[in-house]
Amino acid sequence: MGSAILYGLISLAICIAYFTAVDHFLMDSQGLDFWYLFRK
Amino acid sequence: MGRVAGKKLFSVMALCAMIGLLLLPIAVSLPSLAIGADAPDAVKKDGEAKVEKGRDVYYKTEGIVVGAPAPKTTDGPKDYPRYNFESRVLLWFANQQHLYYGSFVLAVPIFCMVIEFMGVVSKDKAMAKRYDQLAHDFIKISLTAYSLTAILGGVLIFTFLTLYPAFFGYLSSIFRPVMHIYALMFIAESGTLYIYYYGWDKMTTGFLKWIHLSMSVILNVIGTLLMFLANSWIGFMMSPAGVDEQGRFLGNIWHVIHTALWNPLNVHRILGNMAFGGGVVAAYAAYKFLASKTDEDRAHYDWMGYIAMALGVAFLIPLPFAGYWLMREVYAYRQQMGITLMGGLLAWLFIIQATMIGILFLSTNYYLWQALGRMRGAEKYQRYIKYLVFVLCCGYLVFITPHTIVMTPAELKAMGGQQHPVLGNYGVMSAKNGGINVIITTTILSFVWYMRGNKVSTVSWSKFGNIFMGVFFACAYVNIIWLAIYGYYIPANVRVGLSVPQVATTLSCLFFMFPLNSAMMKGAKQMGAIEWGKISVRSQYALIMLATAFTWMMGLMGYIRSSVRLFWHVNEIMRDNSPWAYTHTVGFAANMISFNVLFFWVSILFVFWLGSIGMKRAPAPVEAKAGVPGGAPQPAGGH
């Protein structure tokens, strides 16, 4: 059980980092700001 | 020994001849390609004063006018000779049937190439033989359909010449060298196809088999180039280039071919053709499955249907993204054209299209869930299917929600406006992008479950792998939905870019989770054999539904693409002055599409019947026999 939680947390960290990078860089490549709402 | 060497030499020569045939049209057309360089010299001979320059309507470059202006047609027997019937409908029918068959004969040889390759590299001799026989059966069906494609092409040209002579005359004056290359490549395609087919039994092993496989590559290169050339004509009609504003050819044939929409059309069509071809072959297999009298036949056609469906769906998954690119380029080319398509006159047809796309994915998922039933050990996934149904239905309902609906004044007043206060929010692209990406991601998940249905991973990191896959899919869903919601809170010019990370999220699931799953399933413990043939009858109807929906959707999308030109033969260059230069009602268009679909399916059944005469089948391998009562269960060789 303990290892499952650890694996889950590691997976979650990797996935969040990956999808955030996807969102940020693919918007950036189009000359758009992904964080538009948060900067306003 | 000498005979074998002779065979090898002959096969290499045949392959070289095919490559020569492939290159010949290009070599022959070189003087034609240089028409832009020659023509000015010819003009110069008559004196500098006669040289007239024009500006390319798309590329904005200057060029010397070498063609006549687009004819200004008038309604009458000269420009629009006719029977007592709407000429456009006749042309629509001829065009659609030619396109259906053209798509089929383009897709099936690609399948043959893939399946033959699978047979060549397969280590299991029985399986290799079976793949080879399947590819041979496919090409046999394709051969009959090929003749029909050529006949329909002739019918189409005669329909153009007799009913739209002015327009076809103009188009052929612009595309003269391209049409000749097309004709030569068609000869090359025919020659290659016949050598490929009739050489099958002569080149069965070793080096000769590889030569035969190379021939299929050449065949498919020629077929694809043929399609690209044909696409250049419709691309020119939608987004002309290489001509001035009067429609006069400026001498650069590459500009005429390489219009704004050519490449998106090429990508969209090749993917669409592959998905369509897969659907048609899967429907053929489903029909044969349902008509089978023996368990062995059922096992064979169940397997055949699965292979065709898997190949078709592999191309169906990226298809919406190619369609999105095409629409994006349409908007970039002419914003008004995009609005006519998706927000104006033709918008309701897009709602129908969304419904059909949803049906395609629902049918695919349903088939895969049914297919889990023929594997022992797959029961563990079946209890979760209801959640996938829920997610799919939510995505589907959002995807098909219209922005506005047709209402009576009373209904409009009762609702408080054109948009429903709640459902109206789902009628925008932000929500729809989320909807379709959720649907596709769910389809990928269903595939992953199917691939591991009867297996248990034995790799040391399987626990982490399983958790990682689960978290990855969950995060992908969250990201897609989050981006869809986020789109409501940011301006349109920023929102439009969100579709790219949404698509990337879905594709990440496809490109990362499939290899990860395959790595985890390497050397996996088998829970039981795949019992080919032991699948529900309902699943086969799902395959037929898949193919029919695809045929209908192809007809619909072709109509939409063609209708967007409105009253133009060539957009903004050559006006359509026939009495039929108006957009049909949605009802009429739907009936016409249905008629085309019905005609195609009736005629293709005839082709299947012809193809089945004398078709011999290799004995089913052990996997197939696993499902036969009395047969000893065997480990599944794979999917």
Beta-carbon separation of A23 and B472 below 8 A = no
Q: Is the pLDDT of residue B34 over 60?
A: no
Domain boundaries, chain B: 75-376+528-639, 377-526
Neighbours of B154 (CB within 10 A): 12
> Which of A3, A29, A33 faces B494 most closely, judged by CB atoms?
A33
Beta-carbon separation of A36 and B479 below 8 A = no
The string of pLDDT tens digits covering residues B163-214 is: 999 999 999 999 999 999 999 998 889 889 988 999 888 888 888 889 999 9
Query: B426-451: string of b/e by CB count within 10 Å (b at 16+)?
Result: bbbbbbbbbbbbbbbbbbbbbbbbbb
Q: Is the pLDDT of residue B626 over 60?
A: no
Residue B455: its H or E element: strand B455-456
Mean of the per-residue pLDDT values of chain B: 87
In angstroms, what CA-CA distances link B304 with B88, B321, B465, B617?
A: 39, 28, 31, 12
Beta-carbon separation of A15 and B501 below 8 A = no
Beta-carbon separation of B504 and A26 below 8 A = yes
Q: Is the pLDDT of residue B282 over 90?
A: yes
In angstroms, what CA-CA distances link B177 with B28, B36, B224, B250?
A: 10, 12, 18, 14
pLDDT, residue B25, reads: 63
Q: Is the pLDDT of residue B480 over 50?
A: yes
Least confident of B17-31, B212-226, B270-284, B456-470: B17-31
Least confident of B305-309, B540-544, B635-639: B635-639
The string of pLDDT tens digits covering residues A1-40 is: 688 999 999 999 999 999 999 999 999 999 999 998 888 7
Is ipTM over 0.85? yes
Q: What is the pairing mode between strands B62-64 and B455-456?
A: unpaired
Interface of B with A (CB under 8 A): 463-464, 467-468, 470-472, 474-476, 479, 483, 486, 489-491, 493-494, 497-498, 500-501, 504-505, 508
> Which of B471, B494, B504 faces A22 most closely, judged by CB atoms?
B504
Tokens 């026939």 — which residue? B578
pLDDT band at B616 (very low <50, low <70, confident <90, very high): low
> Which of B463, B493, B508 faces A22 most closely, judged by CB atoms?
B508
pLDDT band at B527 (very low <50, low <70, confident <90, very high): confident
Greatest mean pLDDT among B111-115, B256-260, B307-311: B256-260
pLDDT band at B36 (very low <50, low <70, confident <90, very high): very low
The string of pLDDT tens digits covering residues B384-405 is: 999 999 999 999 999 998 887 7
DSSP B462-485: HHHHHHHHHHHHHHHHHHHHHHHH
B463, B468, B489: best to mutate for the A interface, most A CBs within 10 A: B468
Q: Which residues pair with B568 in a beta bridge?
A: B575
Q: Is the pLDDT of residue B614 over 90?
A: no
Beta-carbon separation of A26 and B464 below 8 A = no
Q: Which residue has the higher pLDDT, B236 or B36?
A: B236
All residues of chain B having their beta carbon less than 8 Å from the beta carbon of residue A32 are 493-494, 497
- B241 φ, ψ to 5°? -150, 165
All residues of chain B having their beta carbon less than 8 Å from the beta carbon of residue A26 are 497, 500-501, 504
All residues of chain B having their beta carbon less than 8 Å from the beta carbon of residue A22 are 479, 501, 504-505, 508
CA distance B60 to B52: 16
B293 Cβ contact list (under 8 Å, min separation 6): none
pLDDT band at B453 (very low <50, low <70, confident <90, very high): confident
pLDDT, residue B623, reads: 47
CA distance B420 to B404: 8
All residues of chain A having their beta carbon less than 8 Å from the beta carbon of residue B512 are none
- B575 φ, ψ to 5°? -85, 145
pLDDT, residue B634, reads: 38
The string of pLDDT tens digits covering residues B338-371 is: 999 887 888 889 889 999 999 999 999 999 999 9
pLDDT, residue B636, reads: 39
Nearest alpha-carbon partner for B139 in B307, B292, B281:
B281
Q: Are B340 and B566 in contact (CB under 8 A)?
A: yes
Query: What tokens appear for B234 in the block?
Result: 């419709």
All residues of chain A having their beta carbon less than 8 Å from the beta carbon of residue B472 are 11, 15
pLDDT band at B622 (very low <50, low <70, confident <90, very high): very low
- B64 φ, ψ to 5°? -85, 130
All residues of chain A having their beta carbon less than 8 Å from the beta carbon of residue B491 are 36
CA distance B155 to B68: 27
Q: Which residues pair with B64 in a beta bridge?
A: B53
Q: Which residue has the higher pLDDT, B557 or B24?
A: B557
Q: What percent of chain B has pLDDT over 70?
A: 91
Q: Are B531 and B374 in contact (CB under 8 A)?
A: yes
pLDDT, residue B69, reads: 93
Q: Is the pLDDT of residue B562 over 60?
A: yes
A1, A6, A23, A37: best to mutate for the B interface, most B CBs within 10 A: A23
pLDDT band at B46 (very low <50, low <70, confident <90, very high): low
All residues of chain B having their beta carbon less than 8 Å from the beta carbon of residue A33 are 494
Q: Is the pLDDT of residue B6 over 80?
A: no
All residues of chain B having their beta carbon less than 8 Å from the beta carbon of residue A34 are 501
Query: What tokens appear for B21 in the block?
Result: 């045939």
Least confident of B212-221, B250-259, B343-352: B343-352
Min CA distance, A31 vs chain B (Å)?
9
Min CA distance, A19 vs chain B (Å)?
7
- The predicted model gives B67-84 an average pLDDT of 92
pLDDT, residue B578, reads: 94
Query: B112-137: string of b/e by CB count within 10 Å (b at 16+)?
Result: bbbbbbbbbebeeebbbbbbbbbbbb
> Which of B467, B483, B490 faces A11 most closely, judged by CB atoms?
B467
Q: What one-character DSSP code corresponds to residue B620?
A: P
Residues in chain A: 40
pLDDT, residue B631, reads: 37
Q: Which of residues 6-25 of A touch B (CB under 8 A)?
A: 7-8, 10-12, 14-16, 18-19, 22-23
- The predicted model gives B140-148 an average pLDDT of 85
